Structure 1
Amino acid sequence: MSKLLPDLYVDTIFDIDLISLKSKGIDSIIVDIDNTLVSWESEYASKEVVDWFKRIKELGFKCCIVSNNTKDRVVKFNKSIEVYAIHRAVKPRKKPFQKAIKLMNTTPGKTVVIGDQIFTDILGGNRLGAFTILVVPISKKEFLWTRIIRKLERRILRKIEKVS
């Protein structure tokens, strides 16, 4: 059960205290796209998301998108933010997370994994040994499989407290 619990639970990426992460020794960010950064229907990063990526770069963070989505989706989204990116990741498998760590030349202990799904992002990040942050999904509209998984996630969410 502990592998399913995030270290932090927030509403959005904008609620994450980046300075606090830096003070914990974190230098790298692995982040999901769909329903974490934008709704899965949005092809491109919003201005706010682009600005967030500018800020994390200014603070010296390295970043890699790790998405289960297609190459076309990930490449299109990444055009405006220009970070490392891994598509068709098959999260929560360790391999894509390990590849991201290698691309960013860091270690799991210096990495945060940010995502909206417990059974992909949080489980994968915890299996890696990274600090994990769960965000509330941006959109309620989701694929059938994700809706089924969300029912299981709700049981786990009752056990954790969101930071406002």
Structure 2
Amino acid sequence: MQISFTVNGTRQDMELDPRVTLLDALRDHLGLTGSKKGCDHGQCGACTVLVEGRRVNACLSLAAMHEGEEITTIEGIAQTSPDTAATLQQAMIDYDGMQCGYCTPGQVCSAVGMLSEAREGWPSHVTEDLDAPLELTRDELTERMSGNLCRCGCYPGIVKAIRTASEARTSDSEAA
């Protein structure tokens, strides 16, 4: 079937079998190999991309489901969320938020999406007060990022990097 969507700001028109996952379309048909195929069951988060700004496990989503939508992969994250992505990527380096790097693209895409959700006030399962301003505590961050696994155990650095990006974003919006 013919499918069209925008990936990292560029319209893509492809002829695909309707059973092709979004992950396979990105990796095998468009050559965007930053998103990883980890478990291929939606359990590890290595394949996380943003679809219309929301986090999606690309291994569980059929490409045909995204006709006409905007998809952002790790290769395009800097152009769609330049301030957050740059701060987050630098913080991942500064705080050793990666070791082997396999999960890093999914972690970064998920964190950018999660920070956007948090700015919009979306609650999580551990949000205590739905009427109070959202505070990204350690419990909030770990709950919100629980769909992304790191086999190397770099969670302290990942959490510190996300917190740093969140604080930088908050400081920037308060200064404006």
TM-score range normalised by the length of the shorter chain: under 0.3
TM-score (normalised: structure 2): 0.26
TM-score (normalised: structure 1): 0.27
Flag the structure with larger Rg: 2
Q: Which has the higher contact order (CA 8 A, sep 6+)?
A: 1
